[in-house]
Homo-oligomer: A and B are copies of this chain.
């Protein structure tokens, strides 16, 4: 049963929220959620607590039924046995939607399952759609809603995240934000007693604020519906998914975590391939792929040009490319000529294009070499492992302040040109950090972020992402051909 449109409005952009179980005790769920709800002035927030007269300075009510105004959304954090009664009161009050954070339901065994059934029955009768139980909450950066207890500030952006694990969801949010990824919406789905993962997917597929959908899956309630939705969505919006539980013990762990059946790994793999879902192994890989999808075009094919400052780095990048199923491009003779014209004679005269050390003053040559690779019809994508994007600190060790300004001016112009050409040629460019300190400087990272060039810590990570992009492009080409 899909939720109606106005339910989604009340869930993700409510005008009023009641927090049942609000608390003044630092470190508790009821305290953390209250703090994050109060962070936005966009809505009325009603704390419910039978013993406190106020919570975090806001007048409290002893029951949801005694709240004077309308309540669009109730967030429930009382202990499991009390939840059905609270849900009953919400129905009585005319609450539209709920988030049941409390755990102690189907995930704990038979008795919990009974309690969960009772809860669903009450909600259905009262016309309340709900997230959970056993959820870590949800968030919408556009409406500035956050029902999470442990993360209060989420960077806004075009990525929606649905997670069948609250902790994995938090990991992906924090990991993603540290890499500059912004999020539109987040849902920790919990036990999916009412709303299913598939409902959220259907909603987010239509959501205009969402350009990429990321999902952590342990097991699907409605596998067939998921695949149909995914198939319809991936031609417009990429879906990147972790499917856990592909081994014996992890499948067993899933049963005790969310009472889900992990299902056959091979069946999932085949279904994802047919539906155009990009499957990744862990949250590092998920964030890597999402970053590329947000800012870079899909490569036409798998031939990689490698522009590197050192021979060893080139060797390792070539090896990683081949191991990930990509090809090391054979450069056209005209490209070799162009490179001869712009690089010092010691360059490797082939791909990887090893510039064999290049000083800061020679930096413009890096861009000339980039343009040569970009123009080569044998090159579909470029790995850049060269000194581009210096911090002011590094530049200061070589140049005076006037020289730095001139250097910066030229470099920014070249980076703008790069962004333009990436689009024009439809060839993605990934930066692979030649050294850890390089581009870990916040100034440099933000420079690359502004220009939409993903930065990866190793060739292995970059080439893995590229391989996913090649696969996705081929999938889309095949779908379009059949239309």
Contact among B107, B246, B348 with A257 in the assembled complex (CB-CB below 8 Å): B348
Chain B residues with CB under 8 Å of A108's CB are 346
Q: How far is the CA of A168 from the CA of B433 in the complex (A)?
A: 11
Say whether A253 contacts B436, CB under 8 Å: no
Say whether A218 contacts B312, CB under 8 Å: yes
**Number of A residues contacting the other chain (C-beta, 8 Å)?**
78
Say whether A318 contacts B437, CB under 8 Å: no
Chain B residues with CB under 8 Å of A397's CB are 26-27
Interface string of A231-263 (1 = CB under 8 A from B): 000000000001011111110111011100000
Q: A247-B322, A247-B323, A397-B26 are in contact. Are A313 and B165 (CB under 8 A)?
A: yes
Say whether A244 contacts B174, CB under 8 Å: no
Q: A322-B247, A437-B174, A457-B284 are in contact. Are A315 and B257 (CB under 8 A)?
A: yes
Say whether A435 contacts B170, CB under 8 Å: yes
Say whether B244 contacts A315, CB under 8 Å: yes
How many copies the complex holds: the figure is 2
Q: How far is the CA of A351 from the CA of B250 in the complex (A)?
A: 10
Chain B residues with CB under 8 Å of A169's CB are 312
Q: How far is the CA of A435 from the CA of B315 in the complex (A)?
A: 33
Q: Which of A157-176 contact B (CB under 8 A)?
A: 163-171, 174-175
Contact among B107, B164, B175, B458 with A436 in the assembled complex (CB-CB below 8 Å): B175
Instruction: Choose the segment among A46-54, A200-208, A354-362 that binds chain B (4+ C-beta atoms closer than 8 Å).
Output: A354-362
Contact among B27, B250, B313, B398 with A27 in the assembled complex (CB-CB below 8 Å): B398
* Chain B residue nearest to A218 in the complex (CB): B315
Q: A171-B434, A319-B246, A437-B178 are in contact. Are A348 and B459 (CB under 8 A)?
A: no
Chain B residues with CB under 8 Å of A126's CB are none
Interface string of A26-52 (1 = CB under 8 A from B): 111000000000000000000000000
Most buried by B among A27, A108, A248, A258: A27
Interface string of A353-374 (1 = CB under 8 A from B): 0101101110000000000000
Is A309 an interface residue when CB atoms closer than 8 A count as contact?
Answer: yes
* Chain B residue nearest to A246 in the complex (CB): B319
Chain B residues with CB under 8 Å of A315's CB are 165, 218, 244-245, 250, 253-254, 257
Is A449 an interface residue when CB atoms closer than 8 A count as contact?
Answer: no
Chain B residues with CB under 8 Å of A437's CB are 174, 178
Chain B residues with CB under 8 Å of A257's CB are 311-312, 314-315, 348, 354
Chain B residues with CB under 8 Å of A284's CB are 457-458, 460
Say whether A216 contacts B312, CB under 8 Å: yes
What are 17 A-to-B residue pairs whose CB atoms are below 8 Å?
Answer: A26-B398, A103-B357, A107-B311, A166-B312, A171-B313, A175-B436, A178-B440, A218-B312, A242-B316, A244-B315, A249-B318, A250-B316, A253-B354, A254-B311, A256-B349, A256-B350, A282-B458
Given contacts A26-B397, A169-B312, A257-B315, 17 further A-B contacts (CB under 8 A): A27-B397, A28-B359, A103-B346, A103-B356, A103-B357, A163-B312, A165-B312, A167-B311, A175-B436, A244-B312, A246-B323, A247-B323, A249-B322, A250-B316, A253-B311, A253-B352, A281-B460
